[in-house]
Amino acid sequence: MTQPFLYHPQTQDGLVRQGDQLTVSVFSEKGAFEQIKLRHEPDNEEYLIDMSKSGAKGELEIWQATLPLSVDKDVTYYVFKALTSTSQRWLDARGVQSRMPGREYHFKFNRVHQPPEWVSEQVFYQIFPDRFNNGDPSIGVESGEYQYPNRKRESIKKQWGEPVGTHGDSGAVEFYGGDLAGIELSSIIFRSWVLRPCT
Tell which CATH classification among 3.40.430.10, 2.60.40.10, 3.30.300.10, 3.40.50.300 matches the domain 6-113.
Answer: 2.60.40.10
Q: Which helix (H) or strand (E) holds 53?
A: strand 52-57
pTM: 0.65
Helices (H), 4-160: 129-132
**Quick one: how far is CA 66 from the chain centroid?**
24
How is the chain split into domains, by residue range?
6-113, 129-194
Average pLDDT over residues 176-190: 87
- Position 166 pLDDT exceeds 60: yes
Write the DSSP string, 74-111.
SEEEEEEEEE-SS-EEEEETTEEESSPPPGGGSEEEES
pLDDT by residue (tens digit) across 52-63? 999 999 999 999
End-to-end CA distance of the chain: 49
Q: What is the mean pLDDT of the chain?
A: 88
